[in-house]
Amino acid sequence: MSYLQMHELVEKLNKATEEYDKGCPIMTDKEWDNLYFQLIQLEREAGYTLFESPTQKVSYTVVNELKKIEHNHKMLSLDKTKNISDIETFAKNNKLLIAMCKMDGLTCSLRYLDGKLVSAETRGNGYIGEDILHNTRVIPSIPKYIPYLDELIIDGEIICPYNKFEPFSKDYKNPRNFAAGSIRLLDSRECELRNLKFIAWDVIKGLDNHISHFKNDENETEVDETVWFKGYANEDLCQKLNDLGKIGFTIVPYITIDPLDDNKNYEEKINVLKDKAKEFNYPIDGIVFKFDNIEYGKSLGETAHHFKNAIAYKFYDETYDTRLKYIEWSLGRTGVLTPVAVFESVDIDGTTVERASLHNYGVMRETLGPCAYKGEPIKIYKANQIIPQVEPVEEEYRLNYGQVIAQGGVSANDEPECCPICGGSCSVVKSKDGILNMMCDNPECQGKFITKLDHFVGKKGLDIKGLSKVTLEKLIDWGYINNLVDIFKLFRYINEWKKQDGFGEKSVTKILEAIEKAKNCTLESFISSLGIPLIGSTNAKDIAKIADGDYKKFRDMINSNYAFYKLPNFGEAKHAAIMNFDYTEADELVQYLNIIEKKDNTIDIINKPFKGQIFVITGKLYNFKNREQLEEQIKARGGKISSSVSAKTTYLINNDISSNSNKNVTAKKLGVSIITEEELVSMF
């Protein structure tokens, strides 16, 4: 019986690993690890292992269009555990340990020769990977030249920080999948848009007692002013990581654990590194414990699966049990229908959660299977303690439609046969990145128009107060609005509008006054309000800057085919989106607007009153248009913004000081000052 179980587990794990390497995982890390630990237990009981067992070797192969490349060193996996006691056993020889964040991305090896980046490859099967040099050259955290003249080989992780992942979260389930898919793009310009980051966590060769200088261009000519770097004649990993930091690399957050320290509280060390990861917005899935002395680590040897000098402690987001009610489909302005899971409310970190996005049609299928039913038990967690997510239902518990009906259940995720807004046909469309989306096929869909209007008047657009989505729907039903320009003609209906249910002279007047106020806008907010695909508020700001805040100049740039793709954080896709957008309506809209140049309110550049202070913002804002505006004001005064509260946090900004949210509780525990928005403004 154990042989059959082992054989089945080996097949499942190897298949999952193969799909993971393609960037198309078929199970979660937690599911994979659970099966892996089951296999280890069976092998221990049986006293033997199967040839293809993932506990003995990396068994999958790379199969895609990128060039295969053989590694110059073994890139094996890590031994894993979920028990602190295994870490204590691993460290019993009293050698200095390094505890480092286990980055959740795609492992990559870089090779430098005489200071120049000459190769970059994915881990692949541990022996053969993929050549991704063309894409690593456009990642800012990977230096193309370094002050080191000999050969240097570095292993690390390509990740997408949570704060950079947010704009892509509707299409990708998590930063790891996003990073794995992005680094494999054939077009490096597309890759450049993805905000990837390289985190170095090991030195395979180099930094041993060398003195080198910097070469900085394609002809490898030396710079006039020599930049010297002196290596150290030692075999300590932490020193080599520090040296990497000195020559331009971002190194993994780590701490050392002194073997002579009587208080080796491993849980405390793990929590310290968790906080560091949150501070930097790094996605991690565990902590790696590794011996600092490199030669000692090598002396321990290896298996075909992993080196014996390190072990990974794996952890997961805490899950909460609830039951699925139904799947709700919301329509975006481009016609994409996004599935949202609605479930019985659960309390997570002091907040009530009853909805979670399923991102797109493909992710919904991966998460819930072909058929989810009303009342089905599901598990909810907060990714990085922020974004509610539905944990994928384990395959053995998934049902098909026939089983649901036979058990008296009602399907909760039937695909919409027609658009919930216009009633037009829907179809599943596959993007160039392999993303499956449910789309409304009707180009005249009113739902698209409402969403477009809502964006135009919303906070990321002209920010017209009072024009909520519900109000817009009524104005459309009454025939007051048929296009964006009609918003500025609403005064014609004031007499009949104020007599409509739910309105009155005061509320209508306020809305019309807000519309008049919004006519004085910046080019940045106007471009953002148009809803040009791929162009968000940050890109709109960059465009407005090079156009000097002048709409006519912006249109002239389009007519002359300006090279937007050359701008930082742009590329061919965004360039094409700008060029292909229909500006007919925009050209008419500007006749009603007074587009003003945005003033640069420079704030005490020399003294920077908030220099060295770290701020965390949570909850609703009342004095600022949005969170980005508040962050801009803090940064202008020299302050830094963090997404999570730690001992380094100076202030937590929260208008609800009595809240029992996770951030408030943590701040009180650490003695971090909690201030309101008004208190912060008084500090300005």
DSSP code at position 223: P
Residue 216, SS3?
coil
Please give the sequence-ordered ranges of beta strands (E in DSSP) within 188-283, or none if there are none. 197-205, 211-212, 229-230, 254-257
| Bridge partner list, 380 | 320, 390
Burial of 361 (0-12, 13-18, 19+ CB in 10 A): buried
The pair of three-digit structure tokens given for residue 329, joined into one six-digit string: 């489909």
Count H helices and E strands in the chain, helices first: 24, 26
* Residue 249: DSSP 8-state: P
Q: Report whether 178 contacts 135 (CB < 8 A).
A: no
- The two tokens of residue 444 are 């005249």
Contact 89, 142 (CB under 8 A): no
Does residue 21 contact residue 15 with C-beta atoms inside 8 Å?
no
d(C-alpha 120, C-alpha 645), whole Å:
36
Taking the C-alpha atoms of residue 15 and residue 19, their distance in angstroms, rounded to an integer, is 6
**Which token pair is 417?**
């046969």
Measure the CA–CA gap between 472 and 640, rounded to whole angstroms.
38
Catalytic residue among 102, 197, 269, 452: 102
Q: What is the 3-state secondary structure (H, E, C) of 47-58?
A: CCCCCCCCCCCC
Contact 58, 126 (CB under 8 A): yes
- Give the count of beta carbons closer than 10 Å to the beta carbon of residue 337: 22
Write out the H or E segment, with its range, that includes residue 470. helix 469-477
Q: Which of 114, 133, 108, 135 is nearest to 218 (CA)?
A: 114
Reduced to 3 states, what is the DSSP secondary structure of residue 338? strand
Task: Report the DSSP beta bridge partners of residue 108.
Answer: 122, 156
Radius of gyration of the chain, Cα coordinates, nearest whole angstrom: 28
What does the alpha-carbon distance between residue 84 and residue 308 come to, in Å, rounded to a whole number? 17
Reduced to 3 states (helix: H, G, I; strand: E, B; else coil), residue 92 is coil
3-state SS, residue 346:
strand
| DSSP SS3 for 377 | strand
Told to judge if 102 belongs to the known catalytic residues of this protein, a careful annotator would answer: yes
Q: What is the DSSP letter of 341?
A: E
Q: Where are the beta strands (DSSP E) in 548-653?
A: 594-596, 614-617, 640-642, 651-653
Distance CA 165, CA 384 (A): 12
C-alpha–C-alpha distance, residues 98 and 88, integer Å: 13
For residue 208, the 8-state DSSP code is: B
At residue 201, what are phi and psi to the nearest 5 degrees? -135, 5
User: Is the CB of residue 324 less than 8 Å from the CB of residue 376?
Assistant: yes
Beta carbons of 348 and 319 less than 8 angstroms apart: no
Q: Are 610 and 638 in contact (CB under 8 A)?
A: yes
Report the residue count for the chain.
684
The set of residues, in sequence order, having a beta carbon less than 8 Å from that of 576 and lying 6+ positions away, is none
Which backbone phi and psi does 135 adopt, to 5 degrees? -85, -35
> Which residue numbers are catalytic?
102
